Chain A
Amino acid sequence: MSYFNATMTARARQLVSLYPEPRSALVPLCHLAQEQDGWLTPEAMEEIAELVGVTPAEVRGTATFYDMLHTEPVGRYVVAVCTNIACLLDGAIELLAHAQERLGIPVGATTPDGLFTLEEAECLADCDHPPCVQVNHRFVRTTTAEAFDRLVEELAAGGHAENIPTHGTLVRVRRSGGLRVDPGQIARERAAQEGSG
């Protein structure tokens, strides 16, 4: 019984093959699982553990270190409002308060219909467009309360599908091939590791 569906299994195997050590694929595989299900299910963590040769607890322990990996279900759209310094200077705290009111949930919660999860983000490196908002890690450059409300309505109505895939889909561009240099190289590198370790 496999957690990843057929397409995802092929992609998972490609990911593992890209690294000298399989464990390096752990985080990319977590992103892949989130692309399939929106969050990291226990079954996903078990299969990832098997793919990279660690225990499921190690996968969970690693995943929980990272803000973008969710071991609990989240909404279809994860809305992140940055309140760090540059955004703070331009009304971010007020926008975040508005977002909580509009969505009817506190930071960290998900709306009952499962559509939106609200997060208070640290700097998202788009500080010349404050306050900065991302939906599913896509910059929306929505800086006013009115624009925020419009965005929420449009998303709820199924808009923006082109630019904002549902939560979990991070990279829609597929690597067009595996490693090209020398297929025997990984084997040699691993042998060298074992020799030196």
Chain B
Amino acid sequence: MPLTDAPRIMTARLGDPDSYTIERYLETGGYQALRKALTMTPAEVTAEVDAASLLGRGGAGFPAGRKWSMLKKDPVTYLVVNGDESEPATFKDHLLIERIPHQVLEGVIISAYALQVTRAFVYVRGEFALGLERMEQALNDAYHHGAVGADIFSSGFSLDIVVHPGAGAYICGDETALLESLEGKRGFPRIKPPYYPAVIGLYHQPTVVNNVETMANIPWIVANGGAAFAALGAGRSCGTRMFALSGHVNRPGPYEVEMVKVSFRDLIYAEELGGGIRGGRELKAFIPGGVSSPWFGPEHLDLPLGQDEVGNAGSMLGSGAITVMDDSTCMVRAAWRITKFFSRESCGQCTPCREGSGWLERVLRRIEHGDGREDDLDLLLDVSDNISPGLRWPPQQTTICVLGPSIPSSIHSGIAMFKDEFLLHVKEGRCPVG
């Protein structure tokens, strides 16, 4: 592991091009953690995950152990794995699904045992055709190996898993929309309360929804103990985490680093990580946690990669996606494209999100095309404020899901950081950058 000597929980197997096969997985200790878990009681397994202080890796960062203990006992409960990864610039679950599907599955099986769930669904984004094939094959092989199905490894515990393909809709990443989608409906996020699927989930039954990377951490935690995981990182952010680094760096890619011990500067500039800005250019800004997060500038480079550290600085680690923009980047164009994404993907249930996203997109487009009007910046902020009153962080929510309040992130942080550049677009009808 670059920069710290933390173990490689997520990436240890990735050097091998055949890492997705059951043969390689078994050769590298695969399904041993499951065997160990089955000798423990479900409560003991849950206690280890709780002790690990594993924050969910899907974006919201809710502690997995706590989520599990919320599951109220009912005759039917489900575990659903969120592999819908579509937050722009995020590409780590895609990698895990394609390259180490067995590690994900082993996490699912152990978690199902801890939760005493006999049915789990792995929802994989539809656009991941290869990922779906690898996951389906891994599942077949896991059944054949006795790691899934009736009486797993003669333990008396039984579990069925279904791999479910999505069909192209960003909003289905929201866990309540994902459940609607899994029920064969449009992916409309559900009205809260209830706030958690653990209360009312799939088919109205208590359901735990966890992210793919969250699941892939479980085997290591069981094998090495929750305390060993909690010893990595600092504060509430424990363990290692996958970061998807993209944009104007020499070495874009997925990197596993120890949480908090590594900073944005390390990730972007260290030779064994991002390798610095391409072509000797300067950093202009970076997006710290997917396009739903407000932008950061060079003054934020020394912030550690920790959930609370980044949250307190006014943005979020979100989906673990960091996009680097150099000094040749047109910030209006960047904000416009991100806003266009939200306007395409808004499910349309809430007026501020549906109408606001389209309006913002049109205003940004005309500024970018040199047709901006003098009061357009005020208009952008005003419409943004209607979607997320006060434009505070964390954002105020007037909508059913947090897609709505995510829309203003790039706009208001972009204007705050690059007001002159936005104004020049309007005044001179052209881009001052390129």
Contact = CB atoms under 8 A, between A and B. Distances in A.
A117 interface: no
A23 B140 contact: no
Contacts of A182: 118, 150, 158
Contacts of A65: 169, 186-187
Contacts of A13: none
A134 interface: yes
Given A24-B184, A85-B291, A175-B136, A189 B143 contact: no
B337 A130 contact: no
Main secondary structure of the interface of B (DSSP, over half): mixed
Contact of B337 (A88, A125, A170): A88
Interface in A179-197: 179-182, 185, 189, 192-193, 196-197
Interface in A111-161: 122-128, 130, 134, 136-139
Contacts of A124: 127
A158 B150 CA distance: 44
Nearest to B187: A65
A158 B20 CA distance: 29
B75 A181 contact: no
B165 A62 contact: no
Contact of B323 (A68, A85, A176, A189): A85
Contacts of B128: 125, 137
B182 to A, nearest CB: 6
B88 A122 contact: yes
B247 to A, nearest CB: 5
A157 B131 CA distance: 27
B130 interface: yes
B333 interface: yes
Given A128-B252, A176-B144, A138 B130 contact: yes
B89 interface: yes
Interface string B239-252: 00000111110001
Contact of A196 (B119, B163, B187, B204): B204
Most buried by B among A26, A54, A128: A128
Contacts of B87: 123
Given A19-B162, A125-B93, A125-B125, A175 B341 contact: no
B90 interface: yes
Interface in B166-224: 166-170, 181-187, 203-204
B164 interface: yes
A86 B169 CA distance: 19
A111 to B, nearest CB: 22
Contact of A125 (B86, B159, B162, B323): B86
A67 B137 contact: no
Nearest to A177: B143
A122 B91 CA distance: 13
B186 A122 contact: no
A99 B150 CA distance: 51
Contacts, number: 193
A97 interface: no
Contact of B126 (A26, A127, A138, A170): A170
Contacts of B170: 122
B323 A173 contact: no
Contact of A85 (B86, B88, B125, B253): B88
Nearest to B347: A65
A112 B185 CA distance: 34
Nearest to A21: B203
Interface string A40-66: 000000000000101000000111011
B118 A185 contact: yes
A20 interface: yes
A123 B89 contact: yes
Interface residues of A, number: 59
A25 interface: yes
Nearest to B94: A125
A74 interface: no
B184 A52 contact: yes
Contacts of B185: 23, 26, 62
Contact of A67 (B93, B160, B167, B291): B167
B61 to A, nearest CB: 20
A95 interface: no
B127 A134 contact: yes
Most buried by A among B85, B150, B158, B162: B162
Nearest to B254: A128
Interface in B121-169: 125-130, 132-133, 136-137, 139-140, 143-144, 148-150, 158-160, 162-169
A69 interface: yes
17 contacts: A27-B165, A65-B169, A66-B126, A67-B167, A68-B126, A68-B166, A83-B337, A84-B337, A86-B88, A123-B89, A124-B127, A127-B323, A139-B130, A174-B136, A181-B159, A182-B150, A193-B76
Query: Which are the 7 A-B pairs with shortest beta-carbon distances?
Result: A67-B168, A26-B184, A66-B167, A23-B184, A68-B168, A86-B246, A123-B88
Interface of A: 18-21, 23-28, 30-31, 52, 54, 61-63, 65-69, 83-86, 88-89, 122-128, 130, 134, 136-139, 170-177, 179-182, 185, 189, 192-193, 196-197
Given A68-B168, A170-B165, A185-B118, 12 more contacts: A18-B162, A21-B184, A23-B184, A23-B185, A26-B185, A84-B89, A84-B337, A85-B323, A127-B244, A138-B129, A181-B149, A182-B158
